[in-house]
A and B are shown apart, each in its own frame.
Chain A
Amino acid sequence: MTEAVVRLVGVAKTYWRDKTPVPVLEGISLSIEGGEFVALMGPSGSGKSTILNLLAGIDRASAGTVEVAGQNLAAMGESQLAAFRSRHIGFIFQLYNLIPVLTAFENVELPLLLTSLSKAERKKHVLSALDVVGLSDRLDHYPRQLSGGQEQRVAIARAIVTDPTILLADEPTGDLDKKSEEEVLILLKRLNVEFKKTIVMVTHDPKAAATAGRTVLLDKGVLNAKAS
């Protein structure tokens, strides 16, 4: 049996609006094994993105344990979390969030600037990642010179370039046309099947969720798991 990459135990998250507590997650327990492709579904405000943020170490749980890649995130300081993200997390956003003044190559290279790789090694990794997403011919293009689908593929290349333990995708097809959506979903599936990447994807779209190996339903901050 493959070891769990993600382990949530009794996780709760409460936000505060002025002095009023707003519970978003309550008693969430979830385990995701290495190589799994999990879709997190649920209505708006159900806490899907909050779970993604907790897994990425960019938000902290109010209660419970969040373990990713064998590390308890609650015990880490800010600089340790930054190092953890750099090493273990690949983030894919709904709106791609590429840096507009950098070319596709430079955008993909960004996470590698945090490593000790030489310039030549970085170049090799970037070319390899852009090859995987099928954009080897767009190295010098700026984000404004790319279509939405291409931008998202560059963002995926940026997410995989460090070979992270887990890919976290927040509505990765939410801003794409049908054709680009299909391309991105095929790419994610390929990353999971061919490259054995563990993927957690937040989505509203049942068709996108069908690409995943398992769908986890969230409703009002409570987990409702089912296999798909």
Chain B
Amino acid sequence: MKLLRLVFKNALRNKLRAVLTIGGSAFLMWVLIFMMTALTEFTAWEGESATKTRVAVQHSSGLANFIPSDLETYLTSEEVTRHSSCVAKLNWFSGTYINQDPQYFFARFAVDHLVMREMWDEFKIPDDQYKAWTGMKTGCIAGAALAKKQGWKIGSKIPIQGDIFACDLDLTLVALYTSSNPRDEQNLYFRWDYLDELTEGRKLVGMFWLKARTMEDMPKLKEMVDARTKNSSDPTETMTEKEFGAQFTAMMGNIKVLVAGLGSIVLMIMVLMTANTMAMVARERVTEIAVLRALGFTAPMVLFMIIGESLVLTVTGGGLALGSSVLLFNVAKLSPVPDFFPVFMVAPVTIAVAIAGGLLSAIVPALRAANRKIVDGLRQVV
């Protein structure tokens, strides 16, 4: 602790160099934060869903195919309800709201409204609004964040033109839901019976969702449902919510690798840039370091001081980048790519990356400086 004063004074000794290194680190950390957060966002849903007991039943050929609606009879039978507490139909509607501009794109689902609260219990819907939804077939509910983004209020008319389904929706916003996870507040749900009415009672079901009573019931449900439909013309594929999410993240496999690769390159540039600064520092201070060691400072102390200097520079740069990112994305809730990432949360791991960058940058110059012979250092003409 006594040496910290010297560490800070040394770090800021050459003001221009310190400012340039801190500025460079801040810029690169900002890019890194952006990339790492994007990577975190890509996989966030997958991680969160691992704690849920929901099970998805879809057509084995994929989501584009419908499942026979009479499967619901089996899913609500005693054989299944021993392992699940509720069943809900869900259809991905697609369609167009206003126009094809990405700002008007959001997920629209037809859902069994009567079991929605039980199935997705992380959503909080005020009782009076939920009651209004049950009493209005053309009513819909939207995530609070989505409603804010689109400028909707309770009572807003939301017309959606169909594409997969040859019908248009004429919805009225009757409820807003919130969630502990702001990522979940980006969807719109309307009543499945309204869609069925518009499709002339054809009972088109995209998916069934089951809520397992316990985690242990999930594999049993998968096995039972798939065994039931195995030899039918429409076999199903039943999976946990985590597995369901993994289908989508798997599609982004290459993007994840690309983002991770670019992030690594940025980190390497930051390490090399700071390492160059620290190498200059160590070279310029050969005599000074030798003097310190002649006074009785040990090699580990010298190591600590040079690594400390590097950390002052990178952590200050990283702190600036992190602080501005937190203010922009977490506090002001501004996403740099709102259409792609409606919610953009800065991953705390970036702080660890700034520290790791500082350590990596200084380790080689610090080791060289600490291990140099004192007599060689004192002999050096500077």
Q: Which residues of A contact B (CB under 8 A)?
A: 53, 56, 58-59, 78-79, 82-87, 89, 91, 93, 97, 99-102, 106, 110-111, 113-114, 158
Residues of the B chain whose Cβ atoms lie less than 8 Å from the Cβ of A111 = 295-296
Determine whether the beta carbon of A82 is less than 8 Å from that of B6.
Answer: no
Known: A59-B375, A101-B13. A114 touches B296 (CB 8 A): yes
Q: Is B298 at the interface (CB under 8 A from chain A)?
A: yes
With A93-B291, A102-B9, A113-B3 already in contact, the answer to whether A83 and B296 are too (CB < 8 A) is yes
CB of A154 to closest CB in B, whole Å: 13
CA distance A177 to B374 in the complex (A): 28
Contact assessment for A91 and B6 in the assembled complex, using a CB-CB cutoff below 8 Å: no
Complex: A93 Cα to B295 Cα, angstroms: 11
CB distance from B228 to the nearest CB of A (A): 73
Chain B residues 1-44 with CB under 8 Å of chain A are 2-3, 5-6, 9-10, 13
Q: Using Cβ atoms and an 8 Å threshold, which residues of chain A touch B2?
A: 113
A-B contact list, 28 entries, CB within 8 Å? A53-B375, A58-B293, A58-B373, A58-B374, A59-B373, A78-B298, A79-B298, A82-B297, A82-B298, A84-B296, A85-B296, A86-B295, A87-B296, A89-B296, A91-B295, A97-B291, A99-B6, A99-B288, A99-B291, A99-B292, A100-B13, A101-B6, A101-B13, A102-B9, A110-B6, A111-B296, A114-B295, A158-B295
A101 and B287 alpha carbons, distance in the complex (Å): 14
A84 to B2 alpha-carbon distance, docked (Å): 20
Q: In the complex, which of the residues B287, B296, B373 contacts A82, with contact meaning CB atoms closer than 8 Å?
A: B296
List chain B residues, Cβ under 8 A from A84: 296
Interface residues of B (CB under 8 A from A): 2-3, 5-6, 9-10, 13, 287-288, 291-299, 373-375, 378
Contact between A86 and B296 (Cβ–Cβ < 8 Å)?
Answer: yes
Is B375's CB under 8 angstroms from A85's CB?
no
B294 x A91 contact (CB < 8 A): yes
Cross-chain contact A58 with B296 (CB below 8 angstroms): no
A78 to B297 alpha-carbon distance, docked (Å): 11
